[in-house]
Amino acid sequence: MNIVVCVKYVPDATAERQFESDHTVDRVGVDGLLSELDEYAVEQALQLREKRDGEEIEITALCVGPEQATDAIRKALQMGVDKGVHVVDDAIAGSDSLATSLVLAKAVEKIGDVDLVMCGMASTDASMSVVPAMLAERLGLPQVTFASAVESQGEVFRVRRDGDTATEIVEGRLPMVLSVTDQTGEARYPSFKGIMAAKKKPLESWSLSDLGVDAEKVGLSAAWSAVEDTEARPPRSQGEIVTDEDGSGAKALVDFLASKKFI
């Protein structure tokens, strides 16, 4: 079985995330890393292989992003993925989700004979959660998304999807696109052995022309939505903090609620 896990290189959420003057996300000036939510997809791919002892399964980490994005692929390789594919091209900078999904779809086609495309539930930067559905649409594959638990037998996958109003069990058959949530279980840390082994694993770098994607179709100028303005939210100023002593905290809390007309 051929599995491709899509991984995104994102600015560290604990750092000071910024926008560039053209309103695109600053992906160079801020420390980046493999999006935490994609680690769950890597983990589920690795677990699938472990469960299917004897079945030949190759796992590829696919990333579209700037030069530094190899860090995200390397992390996936260290966790246990077999090889990496990095689509890197200056023309890609500023791409919207539609262009990104186009590049990913073309890369999946070029990798070839892919049975399972896996994604995280969202990126931790734009957090749109739309790329897995767009990939399914572009590749003409079943979409089994937001899985919080995954079971499979042969080509049939059954997942639990916790919706707003109901919990659903969704079934699909390979080949398909599968996205998983953080509920699927903690992702492993790379072992020392994994870190050493990753250095020897193949990591290919592809440009847009390798994929046959017209550079005019991607990037900021081809984006179908335009940001007009980005504005830092004024920091919240700390209000009154009281220390509870023999019930004084509760009283002060109720007084505050009353003063704000919540009661």
Partner 1 sequence: MTEILVLVDHVDGAVRKPTLELLTIARRLGEPSAVFIGADASQAIESLKKYGAEKVYVVDDADMATYLVAPKAEALQQLVEKTSPGAVLISSNAEGKEIAARLAVKLDSGIITDAVDVQSDGGTPVTTQSVFAGNFTVTAKVTQGTPIITVKPNAATPEAVDGAATEEKVEVSVSDGAKTAKIIKSEPRKASGRPELTEAAIVVSGGRGTGGNFEPVEQFADSLGAAVGASRAAVDSGWMPHAFQVGQTGKTVSPQLYVAAGISGAIQHRAGMQTSKTIIAVNKDEEAPLFELVDFGVVGDLHAVLPAATEGVTERKG
Window 32 to 61, contacts with partner 1 (CB under 8 A): 37
Tokens of 4: 């491709």
CB nearer to partner 1: pick between 73 and 176: 176
Residue 262 makes contact with partner 1 by CB under 8 A: yes
Cα gap 104→33, rounded to integer Å: 19
Span from 55-63, 85-93, 111-119, 171-179 in contact with partner 1 (CB under 8 A): 171-179
* Cα separation, 229 vs 166, whole angstroms: 37
CA pair distance 146, 161, nearest whole angstrom: 6
* Residue 126 vs 195, nearer CB to partner 1: 126
DSSP letter for 220, please: G
Q: What is the closest distance, in whole angstroms, from the C-beta atom of residue 120 to partner 1 in the complex?
A: 10
Contact 60, 93 (CB under 8 A): no
Which residue is associated with the tokens 């594919």?
A: 85
Q: Is 138 one of the binding residues for partner 1 (CB under 8 A)?
A: yes
Q: Answer whether 3's CB lies under 8 Å from 48's CB.
A: yes
Q: Which two tokens stand for residue 87?
A: 């689509």
Q: CB-wise, 93 or 203, nearer to partner 1?
A: 93
Question: Which parts of 57-138 are beta strand (E)?
Answer: 58-64, 83-87, 116-120
Binding residue (CB under 8 A) for partner 1 from 83, 110, 158, 188: 158
Quick check: 233 binds partner 1 (CB under 8 A)?
Answer: yes
Residues 3-22 that bind partner 1 (CB under 8 A): 13-14, 17, 19
Q: Of 112, 104, 105, 116, give the one whose Cα is nearest residue 139.
A: 105
Query: Binders of partner 1: how many residues, by CB under 8 A?
Result: 84
Within 198-227, the residues that bind partner 1 by CB under 8 A are: 223-227
Phi-psi category of residue 224: left, alpha or beta, with phi > 0 → left and psi -120 to 50 → alpha: alpha
By CB under 8 A, name the one of 98, 195, 203, 215 that touches partner 1: 98
Of 131, 150, 180, 220, the one binding partner 1 (CB under 8 A) is 131
* Near partner 1 by CB under 8 A: residue from 5, 62, 136, 198: 136
Q: CB of 83: closest distance to partner 1 in angstroms?
A: 28
